[in-house]
Structures are given as C-alpha cells and as structure tokens.
Structure 1
Amino acid sequence: MIRHFDLHLPHGVHLACRAAGTQGPRVLLLHGFPEAAFVWDDVMLALAPQARCVAPNLRGYAGSSAPADVAAYRPRHLVADVAAAIEALGAPVDVLVAHDWGGAVAWNLAAQRPDLLKRLVMINSPHPATFLHALRHDAAQQAASAYMTFLCRPDAEVLLAEDDFRRLWPFFGDAAWLTPAVRDQYRAAWSRGLTGPVNYYRASPLRPATGPGDLLHTLELPDASVTVRVPTTLLWGAQDKALLPVLLQGLERWVPQLDLRHVPEATHWMVHEQPQRVVAAVQAALQAARV
C-alpha cells in the first residue's frame, strides 16, 4: 500500500511524498522530467517487505513547494532539499535511487555529501562532467539535447499544456506501458503546474549553447566537486534517444566505484518498462550496504 505525507524541511520547503514499507533499511527514490513520484510505486511496493521506501515529488512538482524564481531551481537548492529530506528521514539512506533530473541531483549530492548515503543506483542520468564535455564537443548529443532549448522558452509551460499536453506525450515515444491509467496519472501531475519542472532547464547551464555568451562555454567543474566515491550502480538503457552512449565515456574518472550495466532493449523510461530490473539492482545494493 502506498502512503502519502508532506515532508516539511527546516529551510521552509515541503515535499509531497509517497512511501511504502515500514521497517528495514531506508531507500529514497528521485524522479525525473516530466514525471512525478508515482513512477516509483511498483518499485516501492516490490521493495516494501524488506525496506522503508520514500519517493518525494521534487521541488516544483505536484504538491511540493514551487518557488516562482527560476534561480530557486539551481543545483545547490535542489541538493539542499534532498540532503535535508535524508536528514529528516534518518541519515544516511542505505540506497539512493534516481533517474533523469533526479539523477542530476543525486550525482551532485553523492559528490558533496557522501555521508548521507551508502549506495547509489542511477538510471539513465548523465554525470555532469561527461554531459558538459558532450554538450561542448559531440554534435550528436548536442542535437539529441536540442529539446532543452524549447523547454527554456518563456512560454514553454503554456505550450506544453495545450491540447491535452500534446507536446509532452511524444517524450515517451511509442510506449506500451503508457496505458490509459498511467496517462491519467501523468495528466493529474501535469495539471498541477509545469512551471516548476521547466524551471529546472531554465536554471541549468548544462544545455546546448545558443550563443557565444552561454555559460556552457566557460563553466568549470573541478574534479573534487563532481567525483562520486560512493559505490554506484548505473543502469543504462541503450535505446535512449535523448542521452547517448557518449555520456558513458570516461565516466570511471569521476565515479571510481562504478558498476555499469547496459540494458540493450531499454529506453530512457526503464522505470516503467522494466521495474523488476530496477528492483533487482536496488536489492543488490541493499545487500551490499549491509556488508
């Protein structure tokens, strides 16, 4: 059974959370765009007999605090939210699980606050150092990330909401898992506002450059600030159209304890397509965390 609660953080932000399981090690799960915490329900229910699982709607998403200022969605604020959530729930978490934008937050958190987690399980989320390199030097990844420029438009949320979210459904491709019931869950989340979700893109310098003055050209990510020394499992769906294999090149430099698992048939939406694979990876991480 999925439980719902609001987590009120010391710095004034609250996160609407979903949870399952009442005993055992702690698992925190972070969703991506254009998703919400409900995407983890099957994973949490499968883990509930052995772990206490919590999946928050991140800042800006349905039911959680949604500041109006774009600057409120810069990485340091997103990391502060998750760090405070872990401390409120009982630090450290045994496993932090993250996908897409949740993964962007998790990479930074693991590099900056490794004391807050024992293990990291990532799903199709590019490490900031490899993403920066690819956005500067790889034409194919620049083209694959071009949609980010649209999401930074001042009217992006208005356009995305038009005609029953006509521009959002194609993000998922021809997905068998996108049943009428799942569509209704997405509609319910999106209907509560899209400004927060697109503000993640507006606030981030990691997007294709549109001019010589873009911060992408001068951004520096010192190794010390992005090196993740937490044992990390990375599940990578090879059919991801937005995040290409170039993002895996040289990753061991910044994630020395990396277990990279290629999933040839999976797309960006592995959490929906193969929840059992995600569950197995988390269970293995939980077992390793006990050693």
Structure 2
Amino acid sequence: MPTETLQRIALPTGVELAVQIAGDPANPPVILLHGFPESHRTWRDVVPDLAGDHYVLAPDQRGFAGSSKPLGVEHYTPDKPVADLIALADHFGIDRFTLVGHDWGGAIAWMAALGRPDRIERLVIVNAPHPLVFQRSLFDDADQRAASQYITAFRNPDFEQFVGRIGLSQFFDTSFANHATPEEIAAEKRVYLGQWRQEGTLTAMLNWYRASQIIVPAPDENPSRPAYLDAPFPPTQMPVLVIWGLKDTALRPVQLDGLDAVVPDLTIERIDAGHFVPWQNPQAVVAAIRKWEAR
C-alpha cells in the first residue's frame, strides 16, 4: 500500500505550499496541479493508483486551501505558479518529471511545458485549453466566447461582495451546478467550504483570473485581433496526452481543434465527463494515462 502524507513546504519563491505526497521516491515522479476552485483533493481518486508505481506530489497551488495566499493580484500572474512548480521539484531533488494539470493547473502545465521543456518529460492535460487555441477561440468561436463570460465576472473587483451577499454555500452550488450532478458534489461541499472560509482565500483564487492576460471579449464585441493569433507559435517538445471530458460546458470541444499544429506529439482521449473530470470519471483518467504510458 503506497504511503501518503500532507506536508507544508517553504519555497524560495516566497510561498509555502501544502503538498500531498504519495508513493516511493525511487519511482518515476509525477506532479499533479489542480484548478479553480479546488485543491489537491481534485486528484483524490487518481493519486492512489498512480502512487503504486510513481512518486506523486499534489500541491495546493498558491492562493488555494492550505497554501500561502499572498496579497495582491501581481502574485498570481502565471509565471509565479510556474516558478512554484519548478521550486517544488527542486526541493525534492526531482530533475525531469511527468506533469499533470486540470483547469488552471492545466494552464500552468502548458506554460511550464513551453517555458521549461528541460524539466517536463511528459505532459498530461485534463480539460485545460492550450493558451493559443483558447485565445483564438475567444475571438473566433461564439459558443466559447459566451461560455467564458464568467471570467469577466470573476475579474470584477466587486465579486467578493456579491459572494458575501449570497453566501459561500450558494457560491459553491453555483460554481459546480452546471458541471456536475448534486450527488457528485455533495460529499465534498463541507471540505471545500472549510477551505474557502480561510482568510483571503476567495480573493486569492479569483486573483488567478484577474492576473491573467487572456482577452475575453463581450459576446457582441468586435475587438481588434491580436497579431500573434495568426503568427507562428512555438510547439511543445515532449509527448502530450490531452484528456477531455466532452460534457464540459465551460471549455467547449473547440479547444481540441487545431491542437496538433502546436503539439507535434499529441494523443487525445475523449471521455464521458463534465469539466471536473478527475473526480467525475477518475477511472477513465487513470486508464488513459496508463494506456499512454504503455505506448
């Protein structure tokens, strides 16, 4: 039975991350990055299988759950969690590793793969759009643009006041209601509300959206198109597995279109799940990873 612990690790990037650690350090390392508005528990039904023959690290990313929540939007630009990731690997003496990311964790995984290919041996993305494909879709695909208007809402500086009026419980229900069944989320509600009630957590989580440079046009807007959307884009250099829950209402399947143009070594596994794939269908996630590893 693989061992499992949760440690708080101080990093030279100025934050402390709560990190779930499982498996034998002698085994191949894999780091799992969660997204919004979750924690390492995103991977609760994936870690036990992977830990059987991997050394698994699953941190709460900065701003979330048990990790540091620095004040100020500037602390949540994508380069900051990428730096946390590399510093975390360094802390454990890990050189190259498999990186798995879902949602915002997947966004950071894409950025790490593009910026630090010397450290990322293999990349697994779970319902997280490639930065170029996502930005392009927000200009070119009406359905994706409409589905992404929540980003504009989260960036509103008054959003915390809105949550204060409706309460965290209602915010939990609305956060997950369009993406999972009541039965799927009921068991975790107490855990997540406990995490979100920690001082500064809601603002820290929302600051990930506020710090992002992604442009989200209004549905009826006709903004100027950034030139880089139609310019050459650097390809990934490692094997990439993209696992996609096709019932995702926030990130439409258009995110898979044209992905092979910027990901030369690409495998796509389409599975039956909504946005929160790692706990809606963990068996399919594990099966896809195992099949890909065995290539």
> Match of 1:186, as an amino acid?
Y
Q: What is the alpha-carbon distance in structure 2 between the residues aligned to residue 63 and residue 285 of structure 1?
A: 32
What letter is aligned with 1:276? Q
The residue aligned with 2:276 is 269
Gaps of 5+ in 2: none
Which whole-Å deviations, capped at 9, do the CAs of 1:32-86 have from their partners, x for residues lacking one? 1111111212211122221111111111112212221112211111211112112
Alpha carbons 1:25, 1:93 under 8 Å: kept: no
Contact 2:98 2:120 in 1 (8 A): yes
Among 107, 124, 131, the residue aligned to 1:104: 107
What do residues 206-232 of structure 1 show as CA deviations (whole Å, max 9, x unaligned)? 141259898x854747645x5212101
Counterparts of 1:214-253 in structure 2, within 5 Å, are: 217-218=225-226, 220=228, 223-224=232-233, 226-253=234-261
- Opposite residue 281 of structure 1, the aligned amino acid is A
Aligned-residue offset at 1:179: 4.8
Displacement of 1:177 in angstroms is 4.7
Which of 84, 96, 109 is the aligned partner of 1:81? 84
Counterpart of 1:206 in structure 2 is 214
Q: Tell whether the 8 Å contact from 2:31 to 2:58 is kept in structure 1 after alignment.
A: yes
2:264 match: 256
Residue 196 of structure 2 aligns to which amino acid in structure 1?
A: W
The answer (yes or no) to whether the contact 2:155–2:206 under 8 Å persists in 1 is: yes
Relative to structure 1, is the Cα distance of residues 35 and 219 closer, same or farther in structure 2, using a 3 angstrom cutoff? farther
Amino-acid identity (%):
38
Matched, 1:184 2:184: no
- CA spacing shift, 1:258–1:98, aligned 2, 3 Å: same
Q: TM-score, length-normalised on structure 1?
A: 0.89
Deviation track 1:168-188 (CA, whole Å, cap 9, x = no partner) reads 322323425535431111112
Q: Distance in 2 between matches of 1:280 and 1:93?
A: 23
CA RMSD of aligned residues (A): 2.3
Aligned counterparts of 2:217 and 2:176: Cα–Cα separation in 1:
25
How does 1:157-196 map onto structure 2 within 5 Å? 157-161=160-164, 162-173=166-177, 174-192=180-198, 193-196=201-204
Matched position secondary structure for 2:101: strand
Residue-by-residue CA offset, 1:9-54 (whole Å, 9 max, x unaligned): 1222221111221241111000011111112122111222211111
| Aligned with 2:153 (options 150, 155, 164) | 150
- 1:132-162 Cα offsets, whole Å, 9 max, x none, are 1011121111100011111011122343354
- Contact conserved, 1:241 with 1:267, CA < 8 A, in 2? yes
Gaps of 5+ in 1: none
- Give me the whole-angstrom Cα distance separating, in 2, the residues matched to 1:186 and 1:42: 16
CA change 1:181–1:239 in 2 (3 A) is closer
Letter paired with 1:228: T
Alpha carbons 2:176, 2:185 under 8 Å: kept: no
Question: Within the alignment, does 1:138 sit opposite 2:141 as a pair?
Answer: yes
Aligned residue identity for 1:267: G
Match of 2:20 in 1: 18
Aligned to 1:49: 52
Read off the aligned partner of 1:127 and give its amino acid letter: H
Seen in structure 2, the aligned counterparts of structure 1 residues 280 and 90 have a Cα distance that, compared at 3 Å, is farther
- Give the distance between the partners of 2:54 and 2:168, measured in 1 at CA: 37
CA gap of 1:228–1:45, structure 2 versus 1, over 3 A, is: same
**Residue 290 (structure 2) aligns with:** 283
Describe the shift of the 1:108–1:276 C-alpha distance in structure 2 as closer, same or farther (beyond 3 A).
same
Which residue matches 1:67?
70
SS at match of 1:96: strand
> SS at the partner of 2:157?
coil
